[in-house]
Homo-oligomer: A and B are copies of this chain.
Amino acid sequence: MTLRQMFEPSAVAVVGASKTEGKIGYEAMANASEFDGAVYPVNPSTDGELFGASFVDSVTDIDDDVDLALCCVPGPATPDVLEECGEAGIGAAVIYAGGFAEAGPEGEELQAAVVETADEYGISLLGPNTSGFVVPATDLLCSFASGAEKVPPGNTAVIAQSGGVAHVLAFQSRRQGRGVSAMVGLGNRANVGFTETIEYFDADDRTDAIVLHVEGTDDGRGLLEACRASDTPVVAYKVGQSDVGEFAESHTGALTGDHELYTAGFAQYGVPTVDATDDLLDAAAALGDSPEPDGPNVGVVTAQAGPGIIITDRIQRAGGRLPELTQETRDRIDDVLPGLTYTGNPVDTGRPMPEFGDVVTAVAEDDTVDIVLVYELFEQALGFPVEALDGLAERVDKPVLFATDGIEEDMAEDVAALSDVGVPLFETPERAADAAAVLARYAEMHTLAGAGEVVADE
Chain A interface, number of residues (Cβ within 8 angstroms): 70
- The complex is assembled from copies of this chain, and their number is 2
Instruction: Report yes or no: B171 in contact with A242, Cβ–Cβ below 8 A.
Output: no
A309 interfacial contact with B, CB 8 Å: yes
Instruction: Report yes or no: A171 in contact with B407, Cβ–Cβ below 8 A.
Output: yes
Report B-chain residues with C-beta under 8 Å of the C-beta of A342.
247, 250-251
Give chain A interface residues in 126-175, CB to chain B under 8 Å.
145-147, 150, 160-168, 171-172, 174-175
Instruction: Report yes or no: B307 in contact with A247, Cβ–Cβ below 8 A.
Output: no
Q: Known contacts A247-B346, A306-B160, A310-B277: does B145 contact A408 (CB below 8 Å)?
A: no
Complex: A390 Cα to B252 Cα, angstroms: 34
A341 interfacial contact with B, CB 8 Å: yes
In the complex, what residue of chain B is closest to A170 when comparing beta carbons? B405
Q: Known contacts A316-B242, A317-B242, A350-B98: does B150 contact A309 (CB below 8 Å)?
A: no
Instruction: Report yes or no: A240 in contact with B309, Cβ–Cβ below 8 A.
Output: yes
Instruction: Report yes or no: B239 in contact with A313, Cβ–Cβ below 8 A.
Output: yes
A160 to chain B, nearest CB (A): 7
In the complex, what residue of chain B is closest to A187 when comparing beta carbons? B306
A295 interfacial contact with B, CB 8 Å: no
Instruction: Report yes or no: B405 in contact with A171, Cβ–Cβ below 8 A.
Output: yes
Report B-chain residues with C-beta under 8 Å of the C-beta of A408.
174-175
Report B-chain residues with C-beta under 8 Å of the C-beta of A428.
168, 172, 276-278
Instruction: Report yes or no: B244 in contact with A312, Cβ–Cβ below 8 A.
Output: yes
Quick one: CB contact mask for A216-243 with B, threshold 8 Å, 1 for yes?
0000000000000000000000011111
Instruction: Report yes or no: B381 in contact with A172, Cβ–Cβ below 8 A.
Output: no
Instruction: Report yes or no: A161 in contact with B306, Cβ–Cβ below 8 A.
Output: yes
Instruction: Report yes or no: B310 in contact with A150, Cβ–Cβ below 8 A.
Output: no
A304 interfacial contact with B, CB 8 Å: yes
Q: Known contacts A172-B428, A304-B164: does B309 contact A341 (CB below 8 Å)?
A: no
Instruction: Report yes or no: B247 in contact with A308, Cβ–Cβ below 8 A.
Output: yes
A348 interfacial contact with B, CB 8 Å: yes
A122 interfacial contact with B, CB 8 Å: no
Instruction: Report yes or no: A146 in contact with B309, Cβ–Cβ below 8 A.
Output: no
Complex: A381 Cα to B168 Cα, angstroms: 18
Contact of A309 among B166, B248, B306 (CB under 8 A): B248
Contact of A313 among B166, B240, B250, B317 (CB under 8 A): B240
A150, A213, A247 interface centre (most CB from chain B within 10 Å) = A247
A430 interfacial contact with B, CB 8 Å: yes
Report B-chain residues with C-beta under 8 Å of the C-beta of A98.
341, 350
Contacts A146-B381, A147-B380, A248-B309 known; list 15 others, CB within 8 Å.
Answer: A146-B379, A146-B410, A147-B406, A150-B410, A161-B306, A163-B306, A168-B304, A239-B313, A241-B313, A243-B316, A247-B308, A250-B342, A251-B306, A251-B342, A252-B305
21 contacts between A and B (CB under 8 A): A21-B381, A146-B380, A147-B380, A164-B304, A168-B428, A171-B405, A171-B407, A172-B405, A172-B428, A213-B306, A215-B306, A215-B309, A239-B309, A239-B313, A242-B313, A244-B312, A246-B344, A251-B305, A251-B342, A256-B313, A275-B430
Q: Tell me the A residues contacting B by CB distance below 8 Å.
A: 21-22, 98, 145-147, 150, 160-168, 171-172, 174-175, 213, 215, 239-244, 246-248, 250-252, 256, 275-278, 304-310, 312-313, 316-317, 341-342, 344, 346, 348, 350, 377-381, 405-408, 410, 427-430
**Which 9 residue pairs are nearest across A and B when measured between Cβ atoms?**
A162-B306, A164-B304, A165-B306, A164-B306, A147-B407, A242-B316, A146-B380, A251-B305, A276-B430
